[in-house]
Amino acid sequence: MSVTIKDIARLAGVSHTTVSRALNDSPLINPETKERIHAIAESLNYTPNYNARSLVLDRSYNLGLFFSTLHTGTSAGFLYEAIKGVNDVIQDNFNLIVRGIDDYKSFHKVNRKSFDGIIVMSQSTSDQAFIEYASEKEIPLVVLNRPVEGVEVMNLLPDDRGGAFRLAEFLIGQGHRRIALIEGKAGFKSSQARREGFLAGLAEHGLTMDENLIVPGEYDLESGYQGMGRLLDLPERPTAVFCSNDDMALGAVKAVTERGLSVPGDISVAGFDDHLFSAFMTPALTTVRRPIEEISRAGAEKLLTFIDNKVVEKSTVLFHTELVIRESVQSTQGGR
Amino acid sequence: MSVTIKDIARLAGVSHTTVSRALNDSPLINPETKERIHAIAESLNYTPNYNARSLVLDRSYNLGLFFSTLHTGTSAGFLYEAIKGVNDVIQDNFNLIVRGIDDYKSFHKVNRKSFDGIIVMSQSTSDQAFIEYASEKEIPLVVLNRPVEGVEVMNLLPDDRGGAFRLAEFLIGQGHRRIALIEGKAGFKSSQARREGFLAGLAEHGLTMDENLIVPGEYDLESGYQGMGRLLDLPERPTAVFCSNDDMALGAVKAVTERGLSVPGDISVAGFDDHLFSAFMTPALTTVRRPIEEISRAGAEKLLTFIDNKVVEKSTVLFHTELVIRESVQSTQGGR
DNA sequence: TTGAAAGCGCTAACAT
DNA sequence: ATGTTAGCGCTTTCAA
């Protein structure tokens, strides 16, 4: 068996209580005793049993980072940025448990005892039940990325709508009138917000979108490729295409070049997210930056203060999304 | 406070022992009693306290997935595939704790009580101390992706060397003689194995590599871009460039097209990994498939059997890497 | 088939 | 400044 505070107590000739206090750096303990105990602990290679501590302190040292799904619809870049952002903040103090909500058969194992706090990186309303569950259980909670309705939570999200709006205006400013849209995954809030923002941006300039120029997508590379294929088969092609994320934009560009056409020479393409690879695509992608890592970081910080102060604040914070102009959109006059 | 087995016992008019047994589906308990207890537990919305259970059973239900680092050198695709592979296997039975080894100030919190098992997704020898630590502590352990020396462990890895070897042969078969290499991150085992395999492949056909045609890289997009820039500035350019991973290949292609040259028309480019985006690049990338998700899945399965059977097997398994021929490499005669 | 009692390793009142 | 004692919620002998 492994060494416990009782073993240390025996060797130090004190009670295990004293050992516990010494190891927790209690001011009550004589500095010399403290030092002696620390030395013994060190030499015995003692490590505390966190399960025992958790049991009495009612704290798990676990933080959950939950995604709507870890399967389709969650891009590698998204997962990466979210984990990085959260991980940077929590440091050594918590275990970061990563999971797809759709992997749970039941939420039984999700409770205050097992999670000191939860971050939901939400993409669709499919996880609404989970959010309500966590909220009811009064687990400290922040929901990132999509707006939550029906239940009050701390809610941090990118301004998808505003970004798409500004992108539409930019496209129009470049002279485009016949503009197409490859939608994001059906049911995802971001898909909807981006479409709405985009259409609103067009409307702002008196344009409405031809229904035939809206094609469905799944947020993955393949569906961008397929979607663009359909648009190119149209008798009258669009001059510009807004892909609801960068992954689809990459696929879309592929479909264009494969037919011997060029981006942006023959057709302009824009994306959304500003993934790491977007600046390195050929041509470099014009897109909208969505600050996922920043949101994740902010969410983790909020959560930690909730846990420390035992108060959860409930409000919505919108993070700015920024138009990033690169090379994949050209003016209809030629040139960028 | 939350409901415990004692609360259930009181309501059911039995001892808490009986409740414990009933809930764990012990054959000793009368079916009717069992049913009654289950019903009460259900109605009370009982969830077990895993900390208490962990304390007595000496099991944490935690699995660690540790990366050498979560910062530079770990690409989004790599993280994504690793998490997906492991997550698919462990289902609902364990918490998956994700962490960068370089985030630990000390390994104190890593022990048998806190982790039922550990998967190290290792990229460099910088995590050697951690692997040795986990091995000494006798935590069930598998190490993926890089060969481990100096300590016996279960070790699953891709055949980086063989893949690079075959790629070199392919390039030569396409008529290339002046071939360059953009290396992976210094210190990473994979960088070394790929270089060695590649040089061996050249040597097999009597070629040696010009020192000037080897440039350093960091496994990220930017360094691929920079590296290719340096190669293009050479008085006598290579006809083909092997980038040690796909991320760098994407950056490299960018550097080529930015100078008004084309891939593969003016220069051929190959990568390694076969990331999701590689097939969708323009041109589609010729590369070597490294089955990270498959390795992760196999690693997780191994680990679970170790935990179940309380035996750890120690051996090395090499996973095949496959040449994937697409469009970015052209024969020096023209055409693919 | 069930219950009583002990104990997992720790922290925290309450003494002293 | 230190020790005694109880208890967190659970599983598991041992006894009935």
> How do residues A220-275 score in pLDDT, each as one tens digit?
999 999 999 999 999 999 999 999 999 999 999 999 999 999 999 999 999 999 99
3-class SS at A301? Answer: helix
Q: Which residue type is seen at A236?
A: E
Report the DSSP beta bridge partners of residue A269.
A241
pLDDT (0 to 100) of residue A313: 86
Full set of structural domains in chain A with CATH: 5-48 (1.10.260.40), 62-157+292-318 (3.40.50.2300), 160-290 (3.40.50.2300)
Query: CB distance from A333 to chain B under 8 Å?
Result: no
Cβ neighbours of B77 in A, within 8 Å: 76
pTM of the model: 0.92
State residue A206 phi and psi, 5-degree precision: 75, 15
Cα(B188)–Cα(B146) distance, rounded to whole angstroms?
A: 9
Tell me how crowded residue B210 is: count the other CB atoms within 10 A of its CB. 14
Residue A247 tokens read as 């992954």
pLDDT (0 to 100) of residue B177: 96
Contact indicator for A142, A316 with CB cutoff of 8 Å: no
pLDDT (0 to 100) of residue A91: 79
pLDDT (0 to 100) of residue B105: 84
* C-alpha dihedral sign at A131, A135, A136, A138: positive
Residue B184 pLDDT grade (very low, low, confident, very high; cuts 50, 70, 90): very high
Contact indicator for A68, A119 with CB cutoff of 8 Å: no
Determine whether the interchain pair A280/B91 forms a contact, defined as Cβ–Cβ distance below 8 Å: no
Q: What is the mean pLDDT of chain B?
A: 94
The secondary structure of chain B in percent helix, strand, coil, rounded to multiples of 5, reads 45, 15, 40
Query: CB distance from A112 to chain B under 8 Å?
Result: yes
Cα(B327)–Cα(A282) distance, rounded to whole angstroms?
A: 15
- Judge whether residue B28 contacts strand D, using its CB and a 7 Å cut-off: no
Find the mean pLDDT for residues B35-60: 93
Cα(A181)–Cα(A242) distance, rounded to whole angstroms?
A: 5
- Best B282, B292, B297 member to test A by mutation, with max A CBs in 10 Å, is B282
Cα(B78)–Cα(B84) distance, rounded to whole angstroms?
A: 10
Query: CB distance from B261 to chain A under 8 Å?
Result: no
Determine whether the interchain pair B98/A109 forms a contact, defined as Cβ–Cβ distance below 8 Å: no
Q: B121: part of which helix (H) or strand (E)?
A: strand B117-121
Torsion of CA B104, B110, B114, B117, to 10 degrees: 110
Residue B335 pLDDT more than 80?
A: no
Cα(B193)–Cα(B215) distance, rounded to whole angstroms?
A: 16
Through-space separation of residue B56 CA and nucleotide C7 C1' in angstroms:
8
Residue B318 pLDDT more than 60?
A: yes
Find the mean pLDDT for residues B172-176: 97
Contact indicator for B254, B275 with CB cutoff of 8 Å: no
- Best B46, B50, B104, B119 member to test A by mutation, with max A CBs in 10 Å, is B50
Residue B1 pLDDT grade (very low, low, confident, very high; cuts 50, 70, 90): low
Residue B74 pLDDT grade (very low, low, confident, very high; cuts 50, 70, 90): confident
pLDDT (0 to 100) of residue A82: 96
Integer CA distances (angstroms), A215 to A195, A242, A261, in order: 11, 11, 20
Residue B336 pLDDT more than 60?
A: no
Residue B246 tokens read as 């796909």
Find the mean pLDDT for residues B66-84: 90
Tell me which residues of chain A have a pLDDT lower than 70.
1, 334-336
Through-space separation of residue B84 CA and nucleotide D12 C1' in angstroms:
38
Residue B66 pLDDT grade (very low, low, confident, very high; cuts 50, 70, 90): very high
CB contact set of A313 (below 8 Å; sequence gap of 6+): A154, A302, A306
State residue A78 phi and psi, 5-degree precision: -65, -50
Cα(B177)–Cα(B171) distance, rounded to whole angstroms?
A: 8
CA nearest to A317, candidates A191, A147, A89: A147
Cα(A144)–Cα(A120) distance, rounded to whole angstroms?
A: 6
CA nearest to B119, candidates B291, B317, B295: B295
Residue B334 pLDDT more than 70?
A: no
Determine whether the interchain pair B221/A280 forms a contact, defined as Cβ–Cβ distance below 8 Å: yes
